[in-house]
Amino acid sequence: MKKIIFTIFAAVIVGSFAGVANAQMMGGFSNSSADWDAVVEHTLREEQEGKELWDKLQAKELTCENLSDEQFGVLGEYFMGQMAGDSHAAMNAMMIQTHGEEGEEQIHIIMGKRLSGCDTSAAFPTGSGGWMPMMNMMWGGWSSPFGGNNSTNNVMNFGFGTMCGFGWIFMVLWWVLIIAGIVA
């Protein structure tokens, strides 16, 4: 019995290292073309503009109907700054890296519309991939826009990765070993 358990355990260990690593930075590249100082300056300036606009909106000096997308964008910057704090500029740099400058601006416009209460049903443009590509990858249904990891399986693959259907066999054997260990 010990030989069988050892053989199964060894096969699982060897099999766990046989997979292919698809490690990459979010967005598929590891450096950003965005200038850090420019991102910080832009973020601080738009946060301040957003605060002034939010104060006017709260004082009823402005109405939602009279706001442009650019104004909703600075409102989004303000709200994101309130939520993210000091990491707001880093998050902006990451969004520029992942979605481009236009995509980053669209995200702030949607945030401004939603969080100001002006348009709580504002939706992301189709194909934006949402704000959290890493979470989409973990839940499944995520494909890299760069073609390096086009898969609809989640990160755990549930036995359909490199080892194809053999993953299910190892999963069943693992649980049999666990149950046998508990019973014995």
SS (H, E, C) 8-48: HHHHHHHHHCCCCCCCCCCCCCCCCCCCHHHHHHHHHHHHH
Judge whether residue 142 has pLDDT over 50.
no
Q: Which residues contact 31 (CB under 8 A, 6 or more apart)?
A: none
Return the percentage of the chain with pLDDT > 70, whole number: 66
Determine phi and psi for 33, rounding to 5 degrees. -85, -5
Judge whether residue 173 has pLDDT over 60.
yes
Report how far residue 22's alpha carbon sits from residue 166's, in angstroms, rounded to the nearest whole number.
20
Whole-number pLDDT of residue 19: 59
Whole-number pLDDT of residue 166: 66
CB 140 within 8 A of CB 152: yes
Residue 143, beta-bridge partner list: 150
Whole-number pLDDT of residue 134: 46
Whole-number pLDDT of residue 163: 56
Q: What is the mean pLDDT of residues 66-79?
A: 92
Report how far residue 48's alpha carbon sits from residue 67's, in angstroms, rounded to the nearest whole number.
17
Report how far residue 108's alpha carbon sits from residue 11's, in angstroms, rounded to the nearest whole number.
50
Judge whether residue 88 has pLDDT over 60.
yes
Least Cα distance to 94 among 34, 15, 18 occurs for: 34
Predicted TM-score (pTM) of this structure: 0.53
